[in-house]
Amino acid sequence: MRLHLALLAALALYSRTAYCQPDDEDEGYGGEDGSMGEGGYGGEGGYGGEDEEAPPPPPAGDARELTSVDEFDLFLDDNDASVIGAFLTKEMPDPNAVKPEGWDDEEDGEWSPETITNPALSAFNAITGETYGYRWAYTTTPEVLAKLKAKSEGLYLYRSPRFLSKEHGDRPRERFPSSTLSQSAVSNWLAAKAAPLVGLFSSDTKERYVGGAVRGSKPALVVVFVNLDNAKGMQYALKRVRKVALAHKGKLSFALANLGDSKYDMEDHGLASKSTADVRMGILHRTAAKDDFYGASADFSEKALSAFVASFLAGELTPHVKPEPDYSAGGGEDDEDGDVEGDEGGGEDDDKEEM
């Protein structure tokens, strides 16, 4: 009896082991390279294998859908420009669909073409995933389309109402001049149209001002660092910067940057702030070889900004050279033991093991 029970236990153990272990190391978990095999990631028959490509990425873009006029107005109320796609529908019958030969409505039912995503919306989504640094939204809601005055599908650019100045020639909105959307055409259009006379400078908008197909092909950028969260202080600076910008239109670009978010940008210019009420002036000049940064030591005013700009255009300014970081005090690269801080060798755990 005991022998019989022992044999049953051994058979059960063998069956459990055989079930848990794959017959072939190339299949399932536990291959030589630790990857999942057939039916898993990275192995034969799975994603990334020789015979099958990885699955396609999720739909491109992160555009926000605007479903009401209130959402539309709220989206536009920003320091940066807004790009909005107007589409009459999200889905539509496939215009290229053809009724199958021999289809019998009585026998097979009434034929209707397959429903597909609106091709214009698909093109828009692809562009939002490839064109960075802009705020994207789209709508198919009739009330919002009426607000846009959109009787057909199109792409619209709204400049920031906080920086807009019709008095100085800024247009509130622009419409893309074609019903066919392509990444290169839309990107070039946005780069040329997004910024008003004096706009927003940030990590997202920087390339609009100093980028371009040819490095150094755009004019230098005058940046005034001010607390944009203080509406009164922002308008004080904006009013004076616009006057100087208007006098140098076509020769220089002008923008305001948020003082609180611009510590490292200001350091590039050799500038620093001690108070949220500070206003600092800098110039970024991208040449074919490098980026040159200039900073003004004078307190901000229309007169001081004009003088700073005039000195730059006359070639009288010397670019700021940012000092190299000093690692000696922190035991980093110049550590006496020759180890860079955080190196895997010589940590506390190693000392404990030696003890």
pLDDT tens, 261-304? 999 999 999 999 999 999 999 999 999 999 999 999 999 999 99
Does one domain contain both 254 and 149?
no
Q: What is residue 15's predicted lDDT score, i.e. its pLDDT? A: 43
In a domain, 228, yes or no: yes
In a domain, 144, yes or no: yes
3-state secondary structure the chain: CHHHHHHHHHHHHHHHHHHHCCCCCCCCCCCCCCCECCCCEECCCCECCCCCCCCCCCCCCCCEECCCHHHHHHHHCCCCCEEEEECCCCEEECCCCCCCCCCCHHHHCCCCCCEEECHHHHHHHHHHHHCCCCEEEEECCHHHHHHHCCCCCEEEEECCCCCCCHHHCCCCEEECCCCCCCHHHHHHHHHHHCCCCEEEECCCCHHHHHCCCCCCCCCCEEEEEECCCCHHHHHHHHHHHHHHHHHCECCEEEEEEEHHHCHHHHHHCCCCCCCCCCCEEEEEEECCCCEEEEECCCCCCHHHHHHHHHHHHCCCCCCCCCCCCCCHHHCCCCCCCCCCCCCCCCCHHHHHHHC
Total domains in the fold of the chain:
2
Task: Check: pTM over 0.75? Answer yes or no.
Answer: no
In a domain, 307, yes or no: yes
Does one domain contain both 188 and 310?
no
User: Of the residues 195, 210, 241, which one is the last residue of a structural domain?
Assistant: 195
Does one domain contain both 170 and 184?
yes
Which domain CATH number covers 188? 3.40.30.10
Low-confidence winner among 16-25, 141-150, 264-273, 309-318 (lowest mean pLDDT): 16-25
Does one domain contain both 260 and 187?
no
User: Of the residues 168, 195, 222, which one is the last residue of a structural domain?
Assistant: 195
Q: What is residue 58's predicted lDDT score, i.e. its pLDDT? A: 36
Does one domain contain both 72 and 189?
yes
Residue 57: pLDDT over 80: no
pLDDT band of 5, cuts 50, 70, 90 = very low
Does one domain contain both 90 and 173?
yes
Cβ(35)–Cβ(41) below 8 Å: yes
Q: Which domain holds residue 90?
A: 60-94+114-195
Does one domain contain both 217 and 296?
yes
Residue 316: pLDDT over 70: yes
Residue 354: pLDDT over 50: no
In a domain, 174, yes or no: yes
In a domain, 17, yes or no: no
In a domain, 2, yes or no: no
Does one domain contain both 163 and 274?
no
The average pLDDT across 31-59 equals 38
Q: For 189-199, what is each residue's pLDDT tens digit?
A: 999 999 999 99
Question: 41 to each of 45, 47, 157, how far by Cα in Å?
Answer: 9, 5, 42
User: Of the residues 195, 219, 251, which one is the last residue of a structural domain?
Assistant: 195
The average pLDDT across 61-87 equals 94
Residue 329: pLDDT over 70: no
pLDDT band of 143, cuts 50, 70, 90 = very high
Does one domain contain both 220 and 291?
yes
Mean pLDDT (the chain) is 80
Q: What's at 287, amino acid-wise?
A: T
